[in-house]
A and B are shown apart, each in its own frame.
Chain A
Amino acid sequence: MTVNEKQIDTSCRVPLLVLFGGAALWLVVGSVLALVASLTFHMPDKFGDCPWGTYGHLQPAADDALLYGFCIPAGLGVLLWIFARIGQTPLRGAMVPVVAAHLWHLGVLAGLVGIFVGDSTGFAWLEFPRGGSALLFFAYLLLGLWALMNFSGRNERGMFPSHWFLIAALFVFPWIYSTANILLVGWPVRGVVQAIIAWWFGNNLVFLWTSLVGIGAAFYFLPKFSGRPLHSYYYALFAFWTLLLFGSMRGVPVGAPVPAWLPALSAMNSLFLIVPVIAIAIIGWKTVRGGAGRECKGGSFCMIKFSFVAFILSALLLVTSACPHFSRLTQFTWFGAAQTQLQLYGFFAITMFGAIYHILPRAVGIEFAFPKLIRVQHWFAMAGIILFVVSLVIGGVVQGLKLQDPNVAFADSTKAMLPFLRASTMGLLFMLVANLLFTLNVIALIFAWKWSVAKTVFAFLISPLAKTEVKA
């Protein structure tokens, strides 16, 4: 059976609309929350009258809305489409991912409400209370199993580098999410083992999962856009294994009140991350360089090239923050927050923007309503993330130097951060604008599609059906 690309694209239409549409809304919710949280530093007195207005509620909610609300469903949608395209097979049983996507978004809603009413579990990246996380788990399981079933029934039997990364990611999430929820929320372990498991979980989700999905997608799109094959199969194989190995065994910070071998093992593996980073950088460089493919012009290709560089930088920040003396300096500072944002937004979210701008018009068969805004959106996203990361990386080092000097009063270390925090708030504002523009295009496309469906249905209803029957 031969199928054309159009059939494959349209088979993914409804699941992708649900996954990407919901993700776009959560993206805006998350960046509004992050911006409001950041305002705490500029006018702390204004936030004291209601519980959900404090930083301790807003910041975790903003982080989770970005990660669980946007990154994961967007990543899963891109994964479904890439599987269908590389496998040359239309998505079968589209209802299942549609149901799963609705469950997922419902789980995110339940989790965010839970944080605001004070039901947060208190563990970073795992704040959603159990109702929300149970929904997320089953939604992911359903969607993941469906993706794997479609994968195993593919027409084109080959396996490509993107497959390795994406399949590994499909597999990572249920494992770490069930472990963390069972041992931290369901039947909690005692003492600092909780903190160790929470760190392990956070790293595997925020760094490893996003890296696997983002790099898996980039290894599909970069060759496609540059018109050259991925360079090369063996580099990619090497990068895959080393990323999985070193990326999964880290997360416990230096000096934590836990047995010393844990921070030591984490730091060692963080340093070894330089190996997959160099391999991935070489792959990207050799694949894109001199390609005769399309120019980037602020479109998908541009975004994925930018986000690819952001990944390299984000991973390099992780490597440097594991160096012996530097780790002591940057620990407990904004340096870590900058790295996380670079990973989640600069790398992952922008990869997803590029992919979604490419996929969605093809899947739905309607062009974006505001194509010129795509380029504007990319500029805002880039300016925002650069402003945020640069100011907080420098600010983090300044803060670290002050914290390490006992002659500097603690209040001075916070005061010294204020200019950097202002710049980072500006960065968040830019990212909010970018997210609004992205969501505008996605939502406009969804409404255009609904309108066309409604028109078709309406035309069908009022069509002179009887006449044709009479003729027949």
Chain B
Amino acid sequence: MKNGFVIFLAAFAVLASSWGAFVLAPQLQLGGAKQVTVLNSTDVYPASRPGEAAQGLQIYRANGCAACHTEQVQQDGVACDVVLSSAGKNPSVVSNLISTLKLEGITEEAAQAAADQITAAGGKVETHILATGPDIARGWGLRHSVAEDFLYDYPVQLGGLRIGPDLADVGRRLPDANWQLLHLYAPKSVVKGSLMPPFRYLFETKKIGSTPSPDALNLPKEFAPAAGYEVVPKPEAKHLAAYLLSLHADVPLYDAPFTQLSASTNAPANKP
């Protein structure tokens, strides 16, 4: 290679293919993405975030929250549970049969085979699909994160380091706005031994006027301000909390199926 121009051309070709693969191709594949239909439903997903939550995303960006938090739940695979919905006319036969079968945490094929056997014996079953993996077991989500979850976000804040827990589904996991505000003001007041720095500058400590502010935080004693003072969230804190509550990646989609159980959608795990 005696000639600078040859280097230039060849480097151009390599970079052009890199650009084609990692910029152009994803844009062609996903740039025109639209809302998708939720599995077994006519609802579409995702809805764009409400105004306060959209403003909250900008607070999340400006404060660099993604330096410590990811928004991507990972999943190893799926497992099936076969659940008896009706024992039919011969309950004893069906229950004898069930006692010989493994019905929880099995593969799709095994679930199908078990369902066929029970149906043949006269029972009726439902098959539940459940995502598996450590993130799911921890309660961080019901399924893995997919591209659709971020369709309307700018900037997309996937993060890469879990100094703090994953937040992809935190709105389902910890749906209480007051809890979120307490946690932002004094993380240790709600999570023992938390490493998160307190975001006190998103709050105002002011003298209680003639009537206490309805927004004032109800802090435990050791975190409470001096007597006669109250801690009130600034709009930034409220927006950030609204954004966190808007983080719901909890509907089944074609590329991330699972069975929605009423129990798991209504009763959030309370562990952060």
- Alpha-carbon gap, A183 to B31, bound state (A): 11
Q: A324: shortest Cβ distance to chain B, in Å?
A: 13
Residues of B within 8 A of A334 (CB): 161
Q: Is A425 an interface residue (CB 8 A)?
A: no
- Alpha-carbon gap, A447 to B271, bound state (A): 59
Quick check: A188 and B134 within 8 Å, CB to CB? no
Q: Is A464 an interface residue (CB 8 A)?
A: no
Q: A290: shortest Cβ distance to chain B, in Å?
A: 28
Among A48, A151, A337, A403, contact of B201 (Cβ-Cβ < 8 Å): A48
Q: Is B93 an interface residue (CB 8 A)?
A: no
Quick check: A152 and B4 within 8 Å, CB to CB? yes
CB contacts between A and B, total, < 8 Å: 212
Q: Is B101 an interface residue (CB 8 A)?
A: no
Residues of A within 8 A of B201 (CB): 48-51
Interface residues on A, range: 35 or more
Of B11, B144, B147, which is in contact with the most chain A CB atoms at under 10 Å from its CB?
B11
- Alpha-carbon gap, A167 to B7, bound state (A): 8
Among B18, B151, B161, B187, contact of A333 (Cβ-Cβ < 8 Å): B161
- Alpha-carbon gap, A451 to B255, bound state (A): 69
Is the contact region of chain A dominated by helix, strand, or loop, or is it mixed? helix
Q: Is A175 an interface residue (CB 8 A)?
A: yes
Residues of A within 8 A of B254 (CB): none
Quick check: A191 and B63 within 8 Å, CB to CB? no
Question: Do A251 and B137 contact each other (CB < 8 Å), given the known contacts A120-B61, A171-B11, A191-B151?
Answer: no
Quick check: B30 and A406 within 8 Å, CB to CB? no
Contacts A44-B195, A414-B195 aside, 17 further interface pairs with beta carbons under 8 A come to A47-B197, A54-B197, A55-B197, A163-B7, A164-B1, A191-B148, A191-B156, A192-B30, A237-B1, A252-B22, A257-B144, A265-B21, A332-B160, A336-B161, A404-B134, A410-B272, A413-B162
25 contacts between A and B (CB under 8 A): A41-B195, A44-B196, A45-B197, A48-B197, A55-B163, A55-B197, A57-B64, A60-B64, A121-B61, A123-B155, A167-B4, A171-B8, A179-B19, A183-B23, A192-B158, A194-B154, A196-B26, A197-B26, A200-B22, A241-B14, A252-B22, A257-B147, A406-B137, A411-B192, A413-B162
Q: Which residue numbers of B lie inside 8 Å of A, CB to CB?
A: 1-4, 7-8, 10-12, 14-15, 17-19, 21-23, 26-27, 29-31, 33, 61-68, 70, 72, 74, 134, 137-138, 144-158, 160-165, 187-188, 191-201, 271-272
